[in-house]
Amino acid sequence: MSRAYFVVAALILFPSFLLTGVCSAQQPAEPSSTASCNLEDGRQVYIRYNPISAKNDKLPNGKPWTPGGMPMTLFTEAQLTLGGSALAVGAYTVYPIPGKDKWTLVVNKNVTAGAGYDEKQDIARVPMETDSVSQPSDALEVAFAHVGPKCTLRIYFGKTATFADFTAR
């Protein structure tokens, strides 16, 4: 075979190998789930998280929790407030901090893949309403409840239910 054949083959095949590598690198290693909240004006707030089993993941008492080793990611098309903190349109990482009787919710501006938690990049840190439920959840459940301008984030894990209000501005 001629050298020109190999050059042409390389020019055709190399980009497809490169594209395959790029596409597979962008796919998450773990399957993720999404919970969303639709505001009255059509804008959305949604959170992506790794669904995990309550049997396989232990809560880190008093430390930021990354279910399945990955932080939750919040995406918002609306300006929000959480507690007294303003969140602009964009993406954020979300870290629940489980406590024995109370949980805290942290919103952090660092969304770099693979980056560890950095408290200096926190935008909001609020106490979550925390309660116990009679019927424990076998897996992490994350959902939003929508009432008026509020999207209430609900996290259920084991016998714990926690809630935090995001309010559209």
Segments of the chain with pLDDT less than 70 = 1-30
Q: What is the pLDDT of residues 75-92, one digit of tens each?
A: 999 999 999 999 999 999
What's the confidence (pLDDT) of residue 104?
Answer: 98
Q: What is the pLDDT of residues 20-33, one digit of tens each?
A: 343 334 444 557 99
Domain ranges in the chain?
31-168
What is the longest distance spanned by two Cα atoms in the chain? Answer: 74
